[in-house]
Chains A and B, each alone.
Chain A
Amino acid sequence: MVGFLGANGAGKTTTLKMLCGLIYPSSGQVLVAGHQPQRRHPDFLRRITLVMGQKQQLIWDLPPMDSLRVNAAVYGIPDRVASRRIAELSDLLELGEELTRPVRKLSLGQRMKAELLAALLHEPEVLFLDEPTLGLDVNAQLRVRQFLAEYNRRTGATILLTSHYMADITALCPRVLLIHQGQLFHDGPLDRLTSRLAPERHVRLELEQPAPAEAFNGLGHLDSLENCEVNLRVDPASLTRVLAQILERFEVRDLEVNDPPIDQLIGELFRQGSL
């Protein structure tokens, strides 16, 4: 599983489309599973799949099952085999009677899981996933993530994943590629990139009583302080110590710890001029 990162407009989707053979490279050569993608040879197309978080292939007015049957016919999968795979995959995805309800009546998360099922029916060896968790709530994101991990473990398929959610990447991808303005910036294990990219955690606090700025000395970098709302940036190494001290010193109504959004991290990285 490879995570594919880059700021908006860095060329992630373009690269994915080129790897799928949707657009022709203006120069150079692309090889995927031993094929030149832009030829879109049927053997090649049977071995790959593309899932896009913002586009859907399921028929809007019909249950996903109808779209699945269409796909089975297109890929020449016999009915019996198709039924078995649908049963297996829907089991993994925790899809049941949703498959027989019109797509327009499904929630975003259910729809995305059905999209995944439709994209995986032909058992592709290479999966290109463009923002598969976009817009999903936390639970649904987690479900999709668990499914991808399990699918990868069972089939050994290669998965190239782009996501705006750092959690997707951290949970799934031991190897990460980062591109910036069409250039490869990083290729390697995730921890090396995160230590470069996300040296700090964002801590958001809501206090019962307003506190002065000095009260946060030694707790990290103070980003903003407005009445009872406080934003801090904290070194992950001292995060637990800092949180303990905060709870000790203040009366806290609400507390959140976040990774900064990946786009922001990458943006910061490039502003720091480390390129």
Chain B
Amino acid sequence: MGRYWRTLRRFWGTALATQLEYQLNVLVELLAVVLSLGGSLLLLSLFFGPGRELGGWSWNQALIVQGFYTVFDGMTTAWLRPNLGAIVTYVREGTLDFVLLKPIDSQFWVSLRTFAPAGLSEVVLGLGLAAWGAHQSGVVLTPAVLVTVLLMLMVAAVILYSLWFLIAATSIWFVKTWNATEVLRALLASGRYPLEAYPAPLRLLFTLVLPVAFLTTVPAEVLLGRASFPLLALGIVLSAGFFAAARSFWLFALRHYTSASS
């Protein structure tokens, strides 16, 4: 484990150093993050008239959902896209060879090789927004609630990662999967509104097939103290299942890796 930890520190150290080679870029990305969050909030406010509710959620409660959505959007920018998006490049240029020949888990390598600091600001902003929404909704944060929220956020992160990784791993056959991940990202965007805002068939889809509900609505409900235990258990089972699927699919895909020629 010590070796993996040390490797991870080197990975992210070099990622940071690479970013600093292009400092202006980081600044521009930060600006883009703030602008896009502003846009999302404006859009959300359009659904709410004075004193109105959206599927039983008040404006402040919906802010929590929007906040968590921003957290995961930030996670996507900071972690998933730079890493899993690069798998395609590894396959196309054949540099996956170098990864596979290292005495270290290849999924660990391709999943954690780098990160984009700009996304972290989105994570912080999102957490701040969720905290603000919770405060305005009169939430009293007990340690038990906090632990459960963090647990559900982790469950959500694992689900999101596994889904993304499953799609990215198909690039071993198809090489180009950029479009597929864009579709996934668009679907995830549906997580910016509370689940109840959608009609029943979509709700079912977002809970079981593409568990977007677990990313934002469920953690928000935990925070508001109205999540049911079976739902939390389902979330944990789903995330374990998705992760196992992603893992075995990767190992299966590697057996079919033919490597780019010289």
Residues of A within 8 A of B (CB): 13, 17, 20-24, 40, 42-43, 45-46, 48-50, 52-57, 59, 61-62, 66-67, 69-76, 102, 130-131
B257 contacts A by Cβ under 8 Å:
yes
A-B contact pairs, 14 of them (CB 8 A): A20-B97, A20-B101, A22-B259, A43-B103, A45-B103, A52-B97, A55-B95, A62-B21, A69-B10, A72-B10, A73-B10, A74-B102, A74-B104, A76-B6
When A and B form their complex, which 5 residue pairs have the shortest distance between CB atoms, in order from nearest?
A42-B103, A45-B103, A57-B98, A73-B7, A73-B10
Chain B positions within 8 Å of A69 at CB level? 10, 13-14
How far is it, in angstroms, between the C-alpha of A56 and the C-alpha of B98 when the chains are bound? 9
Return A136 CB to nearest CB of chain B, in Å: 16
Asked if residues A62 and B3 are in contact (CB atoms below 8 Å), the reply is no
Contact between B261 and A73, CB atoms less than 8 A apart: no
What 0/1 pattern do residues 90 to 112 of B give for CB contact below 8 A with A? Answer: 00011101101111100000000
* A74 interface neighbour in B13, B17, B97, B103, Cβ under 8 Å: B103
A104 to B93 CA separation, bound complex (whole angstroms): 17
Chain B interface bracket (under 10, 10 to 19, 20 to 34, 35 or more): 20 to 34
Most A Cβ at <10 Å: residue of B7, B94, B100, B262 = B262
Contact status B259-A23, CB under 8 Å: yes
Give which listed residue, A52, A66, A73, contacts B9 with CB less than 8 A. Answer: A73
CA distance A48 to B100 in the complex (A): 12
A interface, over-half SS: mixed
Q: Are B103 and A59 in contact (CB under 8 A)?
A: no
A-B contact count (CB 8 A): 84
B255 adjacent to chain A (CB < 8 Å): yes
> Residues of B contacting A43 with CB < 8 Å?
103
Bound-state CA distance A53–B97 (Å) is 13
Q: What chain B residues lie within 8 Å of A66 (beta carbons)? A: 13-14, 17
Determine whether the beta carbon of A62 is less than 8 Å from that of B103: no
Q: How far is the CB of B95 from chain A (nearest CB, A)?
A: 6
Within 8 A of A (CB), among B87-133: 93-95, 97-98, 100-104
Expressed in whole angstroms, the Cα–Cα distance for A90 and B10 within the complex equals 21
Q: Does B40 contact A (CB under 8 A)?
A: no
Q: Is B248 an interface residue (CB 8 A)?
A: no
Q: Which of A22, A52, A54, A59 contacts B100 (CB 8 A)?
A: A22
- Known A-B contacts: A21-B100, A45-B101. Give 18 more (CB < 8 A): A42-B103, A43-B103, A50-B97, A50-B98, A50-B101, A54-B262, A55-B93, A55-B97, A57-B95, A59-B14, A59-B18, A66-B14, A69-B13, A70-B14, A71-B102, A73-B6, A75-B103, A131-B262
Q: List the A side residues contacting B21 at CB < 8 Å.
A: 61-62, 102
Check A62 against B14 for contact (C-beta < 8 Å): yes
* B262:A45 contact, CB within 8 angstroms: no
